[in-house]
Structures are given as structure tokens and as C-alpha cells.
Amino acid sequence: MIKVGIVGITGFAGFELLKILSFHKEVSLEYIAARSEINKSVSDIYPQISTYKDKIIEEIDINKIKELDVVFLALPHTVSMEIAKSIYNYVKIIDLSADFRLSDTNTYKKWYKKEHTAKELVDKAVYGLCEINRDKIKNASLIANPGCYATSIILPLAPILEYIDTKDIISDSKSGVSGAGRGLKEGLQFCEVNENFKAYSVANHRHTPEIEEFLNSISQQDIQLTFSPHLLPIQRGILSTIYVKPNRKLTKKEILDIYKSFYDNSLFVRIKSELPSINNVKGTNFCDIGFELDERNNRLIIISVIDNLIKGASGQAVQNMNIMLNLNETEGLIPYPYYP
């Protein structure tokens, strides 16, 4: 069995990892740790869990992490890098924070307001967008698990970059409240969110440089993205509406064929003939993509949906592990979905 650990078990992503790994036939969860709730059992904070209910939450111990085969770092941005620096040569790392998503540490400092302290690892990290970076992921020791918004925007854009004006891309994205994490924040209280809908971090969201950098790397073109995120009064899920201008005349059938060909071997990306909704993917590792062609205005309008905590975080992290270890890519990732 593969010895696995989770560091950062008390957040939403940590809980999702715990649930997913309880379905996984190839792993043994040897170590769980956090910066809070030390010495409590899993059942103390997650009574829903039965498989690992008696597991005790430990302090973060570098020596114990080094004894694992794989560790998931489900920690806040700017925290993971210090741990990764100490364990890199001993264990495969899948980092769910943003600490290794950007190749330029100056860009990281600009957007995350902190000096990067593990610069020597930045070039060694592989961006873990599974459907596009499989070959690199297979040989990686450090995975930068993509951001949730980034996943919902890159997957629908990647197949069509050569067919659009890459300097005129607009994404209007909406996320459930769990995307902001489990910590207490005034703007995320029930009375602030319920029966409300608002934009935030317009034109300056931290996922913007991540999205542009990766799309630049696969297209070798100058990508310019206008990104407007919004907060939905729901628990989980992201819906991104992306507006692009085709650089040549395309029919709907041609666009559909481009998408289906690109994702022909990707079980977790589903190309839909109708426009998808969040309920179609809630509780799953799927990304559903649909589109409409506005011929009158020469606009292609693409809709993508994901569960932000699964395909946008922990599900994709486990998918990365499966690829790294040459396991079945779907292992542990086909549990029952949530509906309604």
C-alpha cells in the first residue's frame, strides 16, 4: 500500500481529501496533521467520516512526513513553501496552495505580498492540470495543484487557443462560498451571503497570473485575460462564462469536434451539447463544458462548471497522485455525487 499523509486536515480541502482517500484502494493514510485541533480524533471534528474516525490529528512533524510516499499539503498560501523545502528530497509532494504555481517569484511576491522562501524548488514544480500536463506529472516530485478558478477557465480555453484572439478573453466566474475556505470572515457570514450576489477582486484576483502564465506556456501566444469573479449564495461549485472572439469562421460542429478531439482520452472532462450547470458536477471530479456561438457578434461563449472543492482542489490532487504513481487515473474519484 502507498503510505499517504495529509497536512492541513482541518480545512475544506483537507476534509475532501480525507473523504476521497477513504474510497481509494491503493493507499494507506498513515499521517494526518494540522496547525489546530491537535490531538483530537477525526470524528471529533468530522462526525460524517467512518473510515478514519479514530485517526488522531497530530502536530506537523517533518520527520514523520519524510517517512511517507506521498504527502498532500492542504495549507494556506505562503505556508506550504517552508515545509516543502524540508521534505522535497524524501517524499512526493502535492501542494494545494499557490506557492509553486507561478514560475516567477517576483510575480508571486506581487500577488501574494510575501517573499518566496523556496525559490530553489520553483523550477522543479510541475503545474498539475492533469488533462494537459499528464506527461510531466508522471515524472514529477512536486506538484502545484491548480487553483479552482484557474481549472474552470484553463480547461475550456486550452483546446481553442489557436482559433481565437488571445488578447481579448473575458471570464465572468461565479463560485460557492466554500471557495473562500473554512476560516471566519465577515463577508462570508450567512447574513452577508444569503439572498445576495456580488463581485469581488475584479481585475485583480490572484488566479489571473496563474491562468495567463499556463495558457502562455501551452500556446506560445500573448494571453490577456479580463477576469471577474463573483460570490454565489451556495455552498460549492464554480460556473465560468468565458467570452472569446474567433479569429476565423467556425461552425458549431467544428468547435464541438475540436473539443471532443482534445479531450478524447480525458474521462473527467465532459463536452456537452447543452449548457452545463453546477448541479451536474457537484460532488464529482468532472469538468463539464458547453458553448454557444454568437455569429451576429462573432463571439464564442463557453460555459464550464466544476465542484471547486473536488476538481478545483482535492479531487484534482488525488488525480495527480494517481498519475504520478502510475495508478488508474480514476481510482478513488468515482464516489456517489451530491444531488440535489
d(CA 315, CA 251): 34
Q: Which CATH code of 3.30.360.10, 3.40.309.10, 3.40.50.300, 3.10.180.10 fits the domain covering 149-308? A: 3.30.360.10
CA separation, residue 211 to residues 146, 169, 233 (Å): 9, 11, 25
Under CATH, which number does the domain 2-124 receive?
Answer: 3.40.50.720
| Nearest partner of 327 among 180, 193, 137, judged by Cα | 137
Whether the per-residue pLDDT at 220 is higher than 90: the answer is no
31's CB contacts (< 8 A; 6+ apart) are: 4, 5, 6, 58, 64, 65, 67, 68, 71
The whole-angstrom distance between residue 258's C-alpha and the CA centroid of its chain comes to 24
Active site residue 148: yes
Active-site entry in 130, 148, 191, 287:
148
100-117 pLDDT, tens digit each? 999 999 999 999 999 999
Residue 23 burial (CB < 10 Å; 0-12/13-18/19+)? middle
The pLDDT tens digits of the residues spanning 299-327 come to: 999 999 999 999 999 999 999 999 999 99
pTM of the model: 0.95
pLDDT digits 0-9 by tens, 132-180: 999 999 999 999 999 999 999 999 999 999 999 999 999 999 999 887 6
- What percent of the chain lies above the pLDDT cut of 90? 83
According to the model, what pLDDT value does residue 178 have?
82
Residue 60: strand, helix, or coil: coil
Ranges of each domain in the chain:
2-124, 149-308
